[in-house]
Amino acid sequence: MPVASARRLVRRASSWLASRGLRLPPTRRAGLVADLAEALALSADRGRLAALLEEDLPGILGHSSGRLYLVSEDGRSLAPARAAEEEGAAAVALDAPLARRLAASTGPEPLHTLAEAHPAVCHALTHEGAILALPLVADGAVQGLLCLGPRLAGGAPRAGDLAVLRALGHEAALAAHNVRLIEALRAEREGLARAHEALLMAREEERRRLARELHDGALQDILGLRYRLAEWQAESPEDGPAFPERAEAVRSELRRIAEALRG
């Protein structure tokens, strides 16, 4: 059995034990936490990060559920990391007071402690079944928020579980920061690719427009001048004195055509 599959089975076993008020042996639990920390350090996309924090971590700690929110690109909201895959979760407004409050956090805390200052936010999160919040802070800035549901065995979160969350919080915050940075770079690269494609299309359209104008306008004018010159050349010598004036008229017409092409 692949190592990853074996670890997932152990985490499911941890959830099963927790639902019955039991726990994995400390050494096994510590190994799972270490594996999770290593996996967080290697996370490069939000799907993988969400799976680790919404499925594996609650399973290890014996919580019923997890929901990961990441700061939006404009920094004005906390959006569910897997909103496209799961329905029901809504983005939460991230105003300046809430951002400062979360950035100053030193670890997980019950959601009700945020209720007095941010009742609307707490109402939205508790509506999803969350009772515990872990702000993900890196470089002094909020990167996301992890919310955990009730313990399967009931009761308040244990001190050991809170210590694990506090230890993993920094790793999770760095992973969230990396995911957001990678997504921003990818979006910028895609934007540059679209701009380059638009430029190429504009150049091609300009080339076609110029070709049409040359065919329908300037080229026809030049052909007309050529025929007129041939006619003048075939005229009798008596018209010779008028040739310089006609030549000047041709030069003027050619200058007009050239200016039209440049414009």
pLDDT in tens, 135-184: 999 988 999 999 999 988 888 888 888 999 998 999 999 999 999 999 88
pLDDT in tens, 69-101: 999 988 899 999 986 555 556 788 898 888 999
Q: Which of the listed residues 146, 163, 188 is the one where a domain comes to its end? A: 188
Residue 136, strand partner residues: 144
Which pLDDT score, from 0 to 100, does residue 3 have?
Answer: 39
> Residue 52's domain is classified under what CATH number?
3.30.450.40
Q: For the chain, give the number of residues.
A: 263
Q: Kindly report the three-state secondary structure assignment for every residue of 7-74.
A: HHHHHHHHHHHHCCCCCCCHHHHHHHHHHHHHHHHHCCCHHHHHHHHHHHHHHHHCECCEEEEEECCC
In a domain, 209, yes or no: yes
pLDDT at 258 exceeding the cut of 70: no
* Residue 89 structure tokens: 């979760």
* Residue 102 structure tokens: 């979360």
Inter-axis angle of helices 26-42 and 159-213, nearest 10: 20
Q: Is the model more confident about 56 or about 232?
A: 56
* Residue 157 structure tokens: 């979160």
Whether residue 113 is found in the same domain as residue 91:
yes
Strand order in the sheet with 109-110: 92-93, 77-80, 66-71, 141-148, 132-138, 109-110
Which pLDDT score, from 0 to 100, does residue 20 have?
Answer: 45
Whether residue 112 is found in the same domain as residue 234:
no
Is 153 exposed, middle or buried, given 0-12, 13-18 or 19+ CB atoms closer than 10 A? middle
CA 116, 121, 123 angle in degrees (round to 5)? 80
Whether residue 98 is found in the same domain as residue 171:
yes
Across 13-17, 162-166, 212-216, 228-232, the highest mean pLDDT is recorded for 162-166
Q: Is 136 left (phi over 0), alpha (psi -120 to 50) or beta?
A: beta
**186-200: average pLDDT:** 88
Whether residue 133 is found in the same domain as residue 225:
no
The total number of structural domains in the chain stands at 2
Give the residue numbers spanning the domain of 211: 198-262
**15-31: average pLDDT:** 57
Q: Is the pTM of this model over 0.85?
A: no
Whether residue 209 is found in the same domain as residue 180:
no
Which pLDDT score, from 0 to 100, does residue 146 have?
Answer: 94
Whether residue 158 is found in the same domain as residue 62:
yes
Q: Are 61 and 150 in contact (CB under 8 A)?
A: no
